[in-house]
Every structure is written in structure tokens, then in C-alpha cells.
Amino acid sequence: MVSTPSRHRRKRRYPSVAESRVPRPRRFLVCEPSHFGVQYAINPWMHPDTSVDVDLARGQWQALINAYRAHGHTVDTVQPVADLPDMVFAANSALVLAGRVFGSYFHAPQRRPESTVYDSWFKAAGFDVYRPESVCEGEGDLVPAGRYVLAGTGFRTTVEAHREVQEFFGVPVISLRLVDPYFYHLDTALFVLDDGHEANIVYYPEAFSPGSREVLQRLFPNAVLATREDALAFGLNSVSDGRHVFISPGATALADQLVRHGYVPVPVDLSEFFKAGGGIKCCTQEIRS
């Protein structure tokens, strides 16, 4: 009998998937919800007769900021402005890639003044700001994923703006059509899990037109697919740092899937903001330098 030398028998230890997920520290821009409220209806979640508990909203928002800081992320704040109740949704203000800022142009007249306030913040922070010619709601509809910028249209941001984004950054922009009014922004139906060219994503397929679904399948064959329950719980409105996923606690099935894929869910409840149709990602603008 030939005996195997012991060094061949010794079990080599590979890192588990969970151990291999490496977070990248992020820089976020946020806006305190001092003037948050539901004063008009521009998406199906909003009912102007809904009362908002501003103290509860502030507490929930602060818990999100604390969670970001506790995980090593930098958080900058822009001063909130009275009469701009949606200004807390910082993600709509811009797309920032490699220190270049592509500003916003809101669909709803009520939100249009927000662009100037955010632009002033960016300028004071040393950035030049490009003002789009067509309706474009920042990271609400523009999601950098690997080699592409994924871009939502159908309710807010226009295809013309997608072309402007491509021209400005020189990055291929993939237009995706949203078809369900509850998921009116791309960031309510899809989020990115990690960096790098092979970045993976999570999405709720039924929020997209059949053709756009096929595009997502082709580009991200290993994507994590979420259910309607996850999506209605704002689970797709998550922020990932490559390891930790800041996620709505209601998206339980999705959180379980993420654990199986080696990610660490960090539940943060922003239920008061759901009344305006926004969650974690909506409140978070990433500044990529």
C-alpha cells in the first residue's frame, strides 16, 4: 500500500466567502430631516394627509448615521432648508464619480430648488458641478456597477439624461426601464453589492420591463434576486460597503440571502421615511473620489 505523505493529507484552509468580503470606507453626504414631511404626492407612497413624526424621523436618521460611522465611513452633512421636505433624500442630488459631480434636475417642480442648494454644497467643498439639461435625479436613478453606470428611466430620469451622463463621464450607461410606480427610482429596485469590474448586484426583476430584465440577466448572471415583499419593505434601497449591507429590517428574506452570499446585514429602520417613498439609500449620497 502506498502511503500518502502527510503534507498532502493536511487540509489547506481557504478563507470562507464571509471572511473574503472586504469593506471599502465610503464618504457619504446626508441631510438632517429637520424639515422632513409629506406635503405633496409625487409617488404612490406619499399621501399629503399623512402626519410625520419628525422626532422619530430624526432618531431613525441619526441611527443610520451612527451605523455608518461605526463601520468606518465618513459622513458629511448639508444644511437642510425649510420648505424642502424631500431634501433629506440626498441621493437625488447628484452622481459623483472620480471627484466629478453630475448634478440634478428634478422632475417635480416642488423639488427643483434642491439642486441649487446641493450644488452650493459641492462647490464649497471644492467640486465643479455639471448641471444636466434633462430631468435627472442623481443616484436615485444612476447606479455605478462595475464597468457600467446603470440608469433607470420611466418615471423620473430621462433617456436624454442617460446620454448626458455617458458623455460627461465617458462610462457606458445602460438604460433600464422601470415599470412599477411603487419602484419609481432605480435605487428602490436595485443596489450594488461590491466594487470592481465584476461587481454584483441585487434586484427585484418585476420592477423592470422584459427587455431590461434580459439586459440585467446578461450583465449580471449571478445577481441576487429579491421578492416583491423585500422590495416593498425597501430592501432594495440598501447601501453596501462591500461587506456590510445597511438594510431595512423588513427585508428578512433578502437579508437571509445576503448572509448566504457572505455579506453582513446591518438592519437600520427608516420606516418614517417610507411615508415619502424613501429609505436608507435615498438618504445617502456617495462621494466617490
Query: Which positions touch ligand ARG (CB under 6 A)?
Result: 42-43, 46, 86, 89, 91-92, 111, 140, 185, 187-188, 276-278, 282
Q: 107, 162, 185, 244: which one is catalytic?
A: 185
Contact 228, 276 (CB under 8 A): no
Q: Which H/E stretch holds residue 274?
A: helix 271-274
Least separation in angstroms between CB 5 and ligand ARG: 59
| Of 182 and 264, CB closest to ligand ARG | 182
Which is nearer to ligand ARG, 169 or 274 (by Cβ)? 274
Q: For the chain, list the strands marked E by DSSP.
A: 27-31, 74-78, 95-97, 100-102, 129-130, 142-145, 148-153, 173-177, 190-192, 201-203, 224-225, 239-240, 244-247, 264-267, 285-286
Task: Provide the minimum distance between the beta carbon of 92 and ligand ARG in the complex, in angstroms, as a whole number.
Answer: 5
Measured between its terminal Cα atoms, the distance across the chain in Å is 62
Active site residue 283: no
Residue 216 one-letter amino acid? L
The alpha carbons of the chain give a radius of gyration, in whole angstroms, of: 20
Residue with Cβ nearer ligand ARG (92 or 238) = 92
Min. distance of Cβ 73 from ligand ARG in angstroms? 18
CB of 255 or CB of 276, closer to ligand ARG: 276
As given in the structure block, the three cell numbers for residue 255 are 437579508
**Least Cβ distance, residue 90 to ligand ARG (angstroms):** 8
Residue numbers annotated as active site = 185, 282
